[in-house]
Structure 1
């Protein structure tokens, strides 16, 4: 079984790095990962959220209101931004979700599940 990321998730990672820079952060947090999924705007994760009656645009506003925004970073190389430890843990959990569901690659839904199963992050707390 392959544990690579889907093309959609590869796009999400591009958006994630842009979100980090836009919000003035130095490393990739769970909130950036989630904002990247929302920004991509498609995929199973988005369909699940919409199916639960959650508007991704409203959720983006809630998440961003819980983030301390700093000045945008222009001197940071987008490709050298590192993951925070908590985010690395979420990505490892997404591999487990992918395997549990028997999928061939890691998709947005696997990352969403991993995020929501972790009770102590800004995204999950924002759902309460």
Structure 2
């Protein structure tokens, strides 16, 4: 299943691009769920940080925790950093199958929405079994809380 970015909101597309930029910033070869999550958290006029704050999870604290986690990961250096990055967004991560992107796409279908938005991405991240999903759960951010 290929990703159809024409069915994504501009903000969701920007979050993916921000995730790529964050991976490069940290010297990582892969774009993981945590890069995407940090991209969502850093959006200046996005809905993710206000939504998390409304739920009772401090977006500032979450940002710091994700930044700390990313800083611990192995880094690579080189002129081609940023080219050919592997996209691993949970599950097998490829082509939107499984993981956070698969869960986000599933949420679009379940909620009968036309476009994948940042809220769908957050729902997908909340269902992820990795660091970001665990961080959200430990801060009370669940599917039900996001949808309320």
CA RMSD of aligned residues (A): 2.3
Cα distance change of structure 1 residues 37 and 71 upon mapping to structure 2, 3 Å threshold? same
Offset at 1:72?
6.7
Q: Does 1:109 align with 2:113?
A: no
Unaligned runs of 5+ in 1: none
User: Displaced runs of 4+ in structure 1, greater than 6 A?
Assistant: none
Match of 2:41 among 28, 38, 44: 38
TM-score after normalising by structure 2 = 0.73
Secondary structure (helix, strand or coil) at the match of 2:7 reads coil
Map of 1:1-128 to 2, 5 A cutoff?
A: 4-67=7-70, 68-71=72-75, 73=77, 75-76=79-80, 78=82, 80-84=84-88, 86=90, 88=93, 89=98, 90-118=100-128, 120-127=129-136, 128=138
Q: How far apart are the structure 2 equivalents of 1:108 and 1:61?
A: 20
TM-score, length-normalised on structure 1? 0.82
CA distance in 2, matches of 1:62, 1:53: 16
**1:74: Cα distance to partner?**
5.1
Kindly tell me: are residues 122 and 107 of structure 1, through their superposed partners in 2, closer, same or farther at Cα, counting changes over 3 Å? Answer: same
More relative contact order in 1 or in 2 (CA 8 Å, sep 6+)?
Answer: 1
Q: Which runs of 5+ in 2 are unaligned?
A: 139-148
Q: Does structure 2 retain, via aligned residues, the 8 Å contact 1:3–1:106?
A: no
